[in-house]
Amino acid sequence: MPGSKPYLDQLEFARIARAIEYIDAHGDGSVSLAGIARAARCSPQQLSRLFRRWAGITPQRYLGLISQLPMQALHEGRHAVLEAALNTEPAATCRPATLHIEVELASAAEASRADLLIDYGLAPSPFGLMLVGMNAERLCFLGFTDSGSRFSAQATLRAYWPRAALQWRPTVASQLANCLWPARPGAAEPARLKLWLSGTGFQLSVWQALLAFGGSEHCAYGELATRVHRPGGARAVGGAVGANPVSWLIPCHRVLGRGGALGGYGGGESRKLAMLAWEHIQSRRAA
């Protein structure tokens, strides 16, 4: 619905993901709303309402966007959604225009301090449950999960910040969701968000390159390796991309495999596909 926030719980996101996967797998256009709804395990009416809340358009309209691709792209089967994204000129950033991102680097000594406190929480987002970690107003973790368990959330955070004291504070996640996906982006107050990142020099160079992506820009691992002055280092770049501690804002989901293959993603390939589809829809709506 216009003006509503596109936040989804685990069940709702699972339906969207199945719908996008079904559309992507039937790139020859032989899909119907009823068929998509069956794949999403809900009624056509439920799917239409959910898709409109999530993306601002109906599933039928999204099929129309896909059908505007060249025929050779449509016949490539499961890569139809990826081809849609890659053939879209960067028309608009999917970040709120009023959001300004700064990066602060954590030294090894800071990252390993025993008195390091991280507030963490879970909240719905356009891509299911979002796990957020904050240290003194600095975002140090953002990821997506299919589990609402605090134990699982703590295990994920400790992989990045092993010595930190973790304090449950769900408002940090809901506040960030409101900042990243406001109901009315044009009316959002200007905001600054500081990322606090811990990593090797090479990892940080890859993350900075991803932060510099414009619009709905995409690239392959090999191209990203060239951008960070490591030609032939696609495998090393893949490792740095996989270690990204701040998903979505550092847009690792926009790095694709050779020939436009989807490639892996820490939050699951279906989530990566949904992110690409959502960005494609938003860029076309803003064009």
One of 42, 94, 140, 252 is an active-site residue; which one? Answer: 252
Q: Give the separation between CA 245 and CA 74, rounded to whole angstroms.
A: 34
Residue 252: DSSP 8-state: G
Q: Give the separation between CA 129 and CA 117, rounded to whole angstroms.
A: 22
Beta strand 191-197 pairing with 219-220 = unpaired
> Residue 82: enclosing H or E segment and its boundaries?
helix 80-86
Which of 144, 137, 146 lies closest to 119 in space, CA to CA? Answer: 137
Q: Give the separation between CA 194 and CA 176, rounded to whole angstroms.
A: 12
Is 252 annotated as catalytic? Answer: yes
Which positions are annotated as active-site residues?
252
